[in-house]
Structure 1
């Protein structure tokens, strides 16, 4: 017997065909154009080995100076490869410059310092959708063109319950009552106020005693970026964070990091992004597309758009591919193609999360050819009332529209096949599921304030949707 379905202020249409899904004007044609137009950066055939600049592979000596000298020399000569040979190299942050490929040979491990003072001087960066002066990301590039981090080596941030992670105020991450954290009034709450009232960057100086963790790899206002082949473990915070960047390829990267806010890849205010052939095993969202928080995002007003996820594997995480919650400037044209998602510790496959403080518009999320083994909560979750930290209600009602899932096969959908909640005054618009089979879900569908939902050749718990009572 089918379980109850909740339909509130919704109209569901069961049809045989969906216009503009497979013809030449379909979203998949746009996806192909985005992919075809993205090219890997190229570099001069010249190499500089960090060992020749004094690097010592003992896992103890701080090689920050050797990395800096090798990168500077390479830059002065017009670019090329900076090679990290086999061995364990300890360092502080690495700052890339234009036309440089940081190349990790097989057997190489870059081990990053966990001493916050090593991440001075403070740099222009971002934290949860708000810009600030803070600790340098572990690998950072600012206003650079034609840059890469490639190879077969490992990037180890060394974050743990003994460092970085307790700052999240998470008990499971080593925080105990009386310890400082990012949630203390002078830390993240203070940054939120700066972001909301538009305080200038020179007022937003954090760093020591403010407990806001650095991102791992951050191209900030960069173009033509490649991150390929490397394995990334034990991140302090967000792992790969292209911000205000364009033409970025993340290819064949393995991310295995289960700390707090350890999102695998977070494009923000960024355009023309290809994430392919990657494996995500994370403590937060595998991929989370961002576009600024609240008033800050509305002022910056740079959409994240033309983002393609192909041939990726999602294991643990809060969501496989997620939009939000920091998405106030808007997100459009997101494509997810030919991916697998499977773990008892993966909460959702596709998720959109926002609220009336965020505002913003999500327009165009297209998902096809996905194999889902198991998720905990839902295959598709759209929540326009997402809350975290404090009261998240406001006057900026978000909009979500044009969501397509086709050719999706799910063995265990968890609590819900589809879980969606919109506003009476701003219902979720135009949701289409075509050739979707969810073999098992405790509740088939729970939707509230969704307009124009079309279910084409879609079955949940063995029943065509028109037979679900």
Structure 2
């Protein structure tokens, strides 16, 4: 597959979008920014070609796999993948049945295919995820337990089918490491918040410690990601279901050309984000169901100093035809956002749950910094959210002081054709910074009902309302 250079591709998309906006406005003054911009989204989608594989199959049963839910099939599955890749590629089949395994290592030109009725059960033995490998935790690279499904510097890879990946995480396994009693943590037990874990990793980030020296794994409490393609190109995840995840579920890290299609994520553990593209570009998330314990989709680009050093913005990301249920947010940008995010398109999605906190959310602070620009949201149906339809927060903090010297830049956020039945505490909630207020937020053809406070805005240019009604009042 021919790869288009990032800057050239970005410039092409910008030129295309601007040209269409200009042309459309000449022909029809009622054409809106969001409507015109989605031509650029279609260009991004067209650039992402599904990987193609030779017509060869490798059944894991032929490599010694046993479908009893007890026998460890790590060696059999990975032998099948190696054989497939070494022979030029094809399809590795996991047939109907229960297959226990440790980490699966995906290789170039391999389609790992789960047939209907196949359940891949990941081992609860943490030693199975050693030795440590290069991975990332909340926006900082490190050496840690292997992700459950991992690909590193591979091309033309896929995970497809109608089967289930069951991480078997829970209150008796990975989740207590979070340090939250709701997830099985017991007072006095070690957790990720202890000095030898997160505080140590944060200091390594700040000091630019070489990644090879950031060794954690055994004796530490960092949970692994579920599926993490790292520095991969041309990635497809299609049809499968992910459940009971230790940590983030789909985490394309430094990837280019990624499609997530028809995937179901149902996992309610701590930090169980559904899909987190990080330092990644040209990503299409389509026709998926997200029912999660954290953000449904969270677009990221590194944490603090590390994000600024790596300096790869996440860009050209299209989310469409998805159903967001439980979660901290439907489509979220941040908080690990220090390299910036731009060109995000969300359309034709449904978001509805008493446990869904926000529909569209942007979160950062002055330690993260970063920028967010060119976010287009169109044709979204929101049943119920807890806090707000749109929340922009530049004071985001959880554990510690989050005030620094990197003022975020947020601009060009457009919502159009959005219908909301119950918006919870706020309709629109914006907390910008006086040093650099939020700029160019528009709402067009938006109807919001049930907001206790219709609009709360601090340090933002005036929102532009066009044919927008909140609690029956025209804005």
Which bin holds the TM-score, normalised by the shorter protein?
A: over 0.9
Taking structure 1 as reference, are residues 18 and 353 closer, same or farther at Cα in structure 2, changes over 3 Å only? farther
CA-to-partner distance for each residue in 1:272-327, whole Å, 9 max, x for gaps? 00000000000000000000000000000000000000000000000000000000
Q: Does the CA-based 8 Å contact 1:280-1:286 persist in structure 2?
A: yes
Query: What's the counterpart of residue 52 of structure 1?
Result: 62
1:216 to 201, 215, 226: 226
Aligned equivalents of 2:48 and 2:256: distance in 1?
10
Query: What's the counterpart of residue 196 of structure 1?
Result: 206
Alpha-carbon offset, residue 76 of structure 1:
1.1
Aligned equivalents of 2:124 and 2:460: distance in 1?
47
For the pair 1:344 / 2:324, whether they are aligned, the reply is: no
Taking structure 1 as reference, are residues 169 and 17 closer, same or farther at Cα in structure 2, changes over 3 Å only? farther
Query: What's the counterpart of residue 81 of structure 1?
Result: 91
RMSD: 1.1
Query: What's the counterpart of residue 359 of structure 1?
Result: 369
1:461 to 454, 466, 471: 471
Alpha-carbon offset, residue 160 of structure 1:
0.4
For the pair 1:423 / 2:433, whether they are aligned, the reply is: yes
Aligned equivalents of 2:178 and 2:31: distance in 1?
46
Return the structure number with greater helix share: 2
Q: Does the CA-based 8 Å contact 2:96-2:116 persist in structure 1?
A: yes
For the pair 1:441 / 2:438, whether they are aligned, the reply is: no
SS of equivalent residue, structure 1 residue 32? helix
Aligned equivalents of 1:217 and 1:110: distance in 2?
13
For the pair 1:331 / 2:341, whether they are aligned, the reply is: yes
Aligned pairs, number? 448
Query: What's the counterpart of residue 9 of structure 1?
Result: none
Alpha-carbon offset, residue 68 of structure 1:
1.3
For the pair 1:385 / 2:395, whether they are aligned, the reply is: yes
| Equivalence map 1:4-23=2 (5 Å) | 21=33
Aligned equivalents of 2:90 and 2:131: distance in 1?
26
Q: Does the CA-based 8 Å contact 1:336-1:367 persist in structure 2?
A: yes
1:141 to 138, 148, 151: 151
Q: Does the CA-based 8 Å contact 1:354-1:386 persist in structure 2?
A: yes
SS of equivalent residue, structure 1 residue 385? coil
Q: Does the CA-based 8 Å contact 1:17-1:456 persist in structure 2?
A: no
Taking structure 1 as reference, are residues 219 and 51 closer, same or farther at Cα in structure 2, changes over 3 Å only? same
SS of equivalent residue, structure 1 residue 415? strand
Query: What's the counterpart of residue 382 of structure 2?
Result: 372
Query: What's the counterpart of residue 161 of structure 2?
Result: 151
Alpha-carbon offset, residue 36 of structure 1:
1.4
Query: What's the counterpart of residue 120 of structure 2?
Result: 110
Aligned equivalents of 2:444 and 2:386: distance in 1?
22
CA-to-partner distance for each residue in 1:368-387, whole Å, 9 max, x for gaps? 00000000000000000000
For the pair 1:314 / 2:324, whether they are aligned, the reply is: yes
SS of equivalent residue, structure 1 residue 42? coil
Aligned equivalents of 2:69 and 2:432: distance in 1?
52
Aligned equivalents of 1:393 and 1:228: distance in 2?
40
CA-to-partner distance for each residue in 1:170-208, whole Å, 9 max, x for gaps? 110011210110010011111111111111012100001
Taking structure 1 as reference, are residues 460 and 17 closer, same or farther at Cα in structure 2, changes over 3 Å only? farther
Query: What's the counterpart of residue 269 of structure 1?
Result: 279
Aligned equivalents of 1:345 and 1:18: distance in 2?
36
SS of equivalent residue, structure 2 residue 316? strand
Q: Does the CA-based 8 Å contact 2:34-2:415 persist in structure 1?
A: no
Q: Does the CA-based 8 Å contact 1:349-1:375 persist in structure 2?
A: yes
CA-to-partner distance for each residue in 1:43-72, whole Å, 9 max, x for gaps? 010000000000000000000010111011
Query: What's the counterpart of residue 78 of structure 2?
Result: 68
- Greater relative CO (CA pairs within 8 A, separation 6+): 1
Alpha-carbon offset, residue 19 of structure 1:
7.3
Alpha-carbon offset, residue 18 of structure 1:
7.5
Alpha-carbon offset, residue 440 of structure 1:
1.6
Gaps of 5+ in 1: 1-15
Q: Does the CA-based 8 Å contact 1:159-1:235 persist in structure 2?
A: yes
Taking structure 1 as reference, are residues 197 and 324 closer, same or farther at Cα in structure 2, changes over 3 Å only? same
Gaps of 5+ in 2: 1-27
Q: Does the CA-based 8 Å contact 2:359-2:389 persist in structure 1?
A: yes
| Equivalence map 1:16-55=2 (5 Å) | 21=33, 26-55=36-65
1:286 to 287, 291, 296: 296
SS of equivalent residue, structure 1 residue 442? strand
CA-to-partner distance for each residue in 1:2-43, whole Å, 9 max, x for gaps? xxxxxxxxxxxxxx97876167xx321111110111111010
Q: Does the CA-based 8 Å contact 2:34-2:376 persist in structure 1?
A: no
TM, length-normalised to structure 2: 0.93
